[in-house]
Structure 1
Amino acid sequence: MTAQAPDFMIAAWDFNQTPAVALTEPQPPQAGHWYHLHRAERGLAEWLLNAGVPEPLSEAMLAEDTRPRFERTHSGFMLILRGVNLTEGSRPEDMVSLRILFHDGVLYSFRKRAIKSISLIRERLAQHDGPISNQDLLVTIIAEMNNRLEELLDQIEAQMEQLEDDNTGSTSARQSQLTKLHRRMLRLTRFVRPQVTALERLISDADKWFGEDEKQWLQNERDTAHRILEQLDMLLEQVWMLREHLQQEVAEKMNRNTYWLSMIAGIFLPVSFLTGLFGINIGGMPGVDHADAFWIFCGILAVITVIEFLLLRRLRFW
């Protein structure tokens, strides 16, 4: 867009022509147009009202906190999606919100933080290799957002495999990494699950706005989103299995250490009793006046220790 465009207007394209043409000057919204808007900038709500978007729809698009959902409206529909946050310094699982409004043939999309999927589509449009209609654009947006999700899940799955194969790291370090992965996947599941439902509802009403080919592509992307959700569920189960395995390793190590401490205590218990008994400082103790009494006593303790060791080994205590 040129400097004359409002601050909230990131990009605008006219799909009434093939290939689509970028709108370099502000124009009244018309059927076949796509407007990509920054929802945090001033003046957007008023512009939407002037464009004929009802106030309840405008408020829904500009709300601060939303979850993925689909709602049919009198003149179209609204679709709220979540995509991977690939902004530098951010956590990908803190998914960014993309609000889409299809109203009177015009497609509006709203974002607060940059979304890589939209950037890629804009680059393709600039190269005359992008979508050819608003409906095709929407399918492409959903497909690109699914692609980013799949890339993130591939990274998480690789980290899970590394944790499973790690036999050198400490158990506490592995548990800490596992907890971080678990937290990331829970954040993803929180948004992916309702997103699948939103896509299913969009497909159930797709006949009103999409052709057969576009509807089939939508179904493919719905299936992709469902597969992503199933993969997330599988990874979460894998987390629990690995966590139980690590806890079992810790329990076995503690049991082994406790066992050996008990063995050592059992061997030295009678020796400690005798040394304590002969350590009392009262009259009548045998060997007090004998020059070799100490060494005889030490020999007796050694013999008792050896006998206990052999006895415990014969009884297969280890």
Structure 2
Amino acid sequence: MRITRLLRSRDEKVGLPRKVTGAPPGTIFYTGRRQMEDVHVHLTSYDAEAYNCATTINEIPADTAPGKIDWYDMRGLHQTELVGELGSRFGMHPLALEDVADVQQRPKMESYEKGVFLQLKAFAFDSATRQLSTEQVSIYLTDNTVVTFQEDAGDLFAPVRHRLEIASGRIRSRGADYLAYALVDNVVDRYFTVLDQIEEALDALEDNILKRPEVQTKSSIHDLRLSLLTMRKSTSPLREMVGNFGDSNHYLISEDTQLFVRDLRDHVIQVTDLVETYRDVTNGLYDLYVSEISFRMNSVMQTLTIVSTIFIPLSFLAGIYGMNFINMPELNTRYGYFVLLGVMGLAIVGMLYLFRRRGWL
């Protein structure tokens, strides 16, 4: 339950703003913290023969030549006026624009009369700190146009842009719906990269636990546990979103593209299964950590117990001959001191032999 509270209150802990209570539906309010100095719109225009790209700052690019597919990629969501202007130009529904700026939305697909709205999460994993960062991505598909919204200046869609530039595969010869699919597929592919990094972190933690568990190992396991729970919250509804995308009868989505989307659904199921598997592994690592700590503590206690047990007869002998009685025959023995030391030594050797024979050492 404590992890659930941490996930639920993580937004408050990092100071994410909340939408104003009572605001009318369709109000564009940015609920994130990322802000960029230069919010810009990147325009990519292409067809089977040509490819052009341009970047403009704080304004909507001019219309491009007809017959081409236009991809408007806005980076930076805190400038909500530009979000509204870009969305209004392509007839985005006010509720879709509200969801673009609300980074706490779950992945989903919404169909409108003149467009299709897709929303999902992108992840990045820092192997050094074992921290997972999340970025919300929104995609709007309309006639021969795709509009995307990213929170950061970094380009999540660089591989897709590169494929367009070199005309790799079928992407330049297909419609805007295939571009929307390619963008979603690119984000899902990044999930596998993040999960590979998490797997490496889990392997490193397992080696650390088996060799020498440390105090910070528990915190590292807890961080990975929270990261996987965060991914699970986003990948579970992603299955529904991709399923709706692949089964949609919207006129903007062709049957040919739906075949690729259904293959993407298999990838999403694989991601979901991996997240669940790694969650189980993380829970197993925590149990292993507790068991290893208990085993080492038991080993220490066993060693201390053996040492204490060895000294019990020695203390008994030393206590007897440490008494101040005058009439003790052994006190007048010439070699009594050495005999006593020999008896003590034999007691030590005998007890060690007995412990080893019983498997206590």
Q: 2:192 is matched by which residue type in structure 1?
A: E
Q: Cα deviation per residue 1:57-101 (whole Å; 9 max; x = unaligned)?
A: 3222222433322223343332111123389x9978312211112
Q: 2:63 is matched by which residue type in structure 1?
A: Q
Please report how far the alpha carbon of residue 214 of structure 1 lies from its aligned counterpart in structure 2 after TM superposition.
0.3
Q: 1:37 is matched by which residue type in structure 2?
A: M
Among 65, 74, 90, the alignment partner of 1:37 is 74
Distance 1:232 1:82, change over 3 A: same
Distance 1:20 1:198, change over 3 A: farther
> For residue 26 of structure 1, what is the aligned residue in structure 2?
62
Identity of aligned residues (%): 18
> For residue 95 of structure 1, what is the aligned residue in structure 2?
134
3-state SS in 1 of match to 2:332: coil
> For residue 4 of structure 1, what is the aligned residue in structure 2?
none
Determine whether 1:145 maps to 2:187.
yes
Residue 99 of structure 1 contacts residue 111 of structure 1 at CA under 8 Å; is this kept in 2?
Answer: yes
3-state SS in 2 of match to 1:27: coil
In structure 2, C-alpha distance between the alignment counterparts of 1:63 and 1:215, rounded to whole Å:
28
Among 57, 69, 74, the alignment partner of 2:96 is 57
Residue 29 of structure 1 contacts residue 51 of structure 1 at CA under 8 Å; is this kept in 2?
Answer: no
Q: Cα deviation per residue 1:123-145 (whole Å; 9 max; x = unaligned)?
A: 33333444432101011111211
Among 222, 225, 232, the alignment partner of 1:189 is 232
3-state SS in 1 of match to 2:91: coil
Please report how far the alpha carbon of residue 262 of structure 1 lies from its aligned counterpart in structure 2 after TM superposition.
1.9
Moved more, 156-165 or 254-263: 156-165
Moved more, 219-228 or 77-86: 77-86
In structure 2, C-alpha distance between the alignment counterparts of 1:80 and 1:29, rounded to whole Å:
28
Distance 1:90 1:28, change over 3 A: farther
Residue 81 of structure 1 contacts residue 98 of structure 1 at CA under 8 Å; is this kept in 2?
Answer: yes
Where do residues 303-314 of structure 1 align in structure 2 (5 Å cutoff)? 303-309=346-352
Please report how far the alpha carbon of residue 175 of structure 1 lies from its aligned counterpart in structure 2 after TM superposition.
3.6
Gaps of 5+ in 2: 1-37, 55-60
Where do residues 228-267 of structure 1 align in structure 2 (5 Å cutoff)? 228-267=271-310
Q: 1:251 is matched by which residue type in structure 2?
A: S
> For residue 75 of structure 1, what is the aligned residue in structure 2?
114
Residue 83 of structure 1 contacts residue 115 of structure 1 at CA under 8 Å; is this kept in 2?
Answer: no
Q: Which has the larger radius of gyration?
A: 1
Residue 175 of structure 1 contacts residue 243 of structure 1 at CA under 8 Å; is this kept in 2?
Answer: no
Q: 2:41 is matched by which residue type in structure 1?
A: I
3-state SS in 2 of match to 1:110: strand
Number of aligned pairs? Answer: 309
In structure 2, C-alpha distance between the alignment counterparts of 1:238 and 1:64, rounded to whole Å:
29
Please report how far the alpha carbon of residue 256 of structure 1 lies from its aligned counterpart in structure 2 after TM superposition.
3.0
Where do residues 111-190 of structure 1 align in structure 2 (5 Å cutoff)? 111-114=150-153, 116-129=155-168, 130-131=171-172, 132-161=174-203, 164=206, 169-172=211-214, 175=217, 178-190=221-233
Please report how far the alpha carbon of residue 206 of structure 1 lies from its aligned counterpart in structure 2 after TM superposition.
4.5
Q: 1:73 is matched by which residue type in structure 2?
A: Y
Please report how far the alpha carbon of residue 222 of structure 1 lies from its aligned counterpart in structure 2 after TM superposition.
1.3
In structure 2, C-alpha distance between the alignment counterparts of 1:247 and 1:91, rounded to whole Å:
20
In structure 1, C-alpha distance between the alignment counterparts of 2:298 and 2:88, rounded to whole Å:
70
In structure 1, C-alpha distance between the alignment counterparts of 2:185 and 2:178, rounded to whole Å:
11
Please report how far the alpha carbon of residue 168 of structure 1 lies from its aligned counterpart in structure 2 after TM superposition.
8.2
Please report how far the alpha carbon of residue 284 of structure 1 lies from its aligned counterpart in structure 2 after TM superposition.
4.1
What's the TM-score once normalised by structure 1's chain length? 0.78
Residue 278 of structure 1 contacts residue 285 of structure 1 at CA under 8 Å; is this kept in 2?
Answer: no
Residue 70 of structure 1 contacts residue 79 of structure 1 at CA under 8 Å; is this kept in 2?
Answer: yes
In structure 2, C-alpha distance between the alignment counterparts of 1:315 and 1:188, rounded to whole Å:
50
Residue 199 of structure 1 contacts residue 222 of structure 1 at CA under 8 Å; is this kept in 2?
Answer: yes
Distance 1:169 1:255, change over 3 A: closer
What's the TM-score once normalised by structure 2's chain length? 0.70
Moved more, 162-171 or 109-118: 162-171
> For residue 33 of structure 2, what is the aligned residue in structure 1?
none
Q: Cα deviation per residue 1:227-277 (whole Å; 9 max; x = unaligned)?
A: 011112222222333443444333333323322322222222122133234
In structure 2, C-alpha distance between the alignment counterparts of 1:165 and 1:223, rounded to whole Å:
32
Gaps of 5+ in 1: 1-6
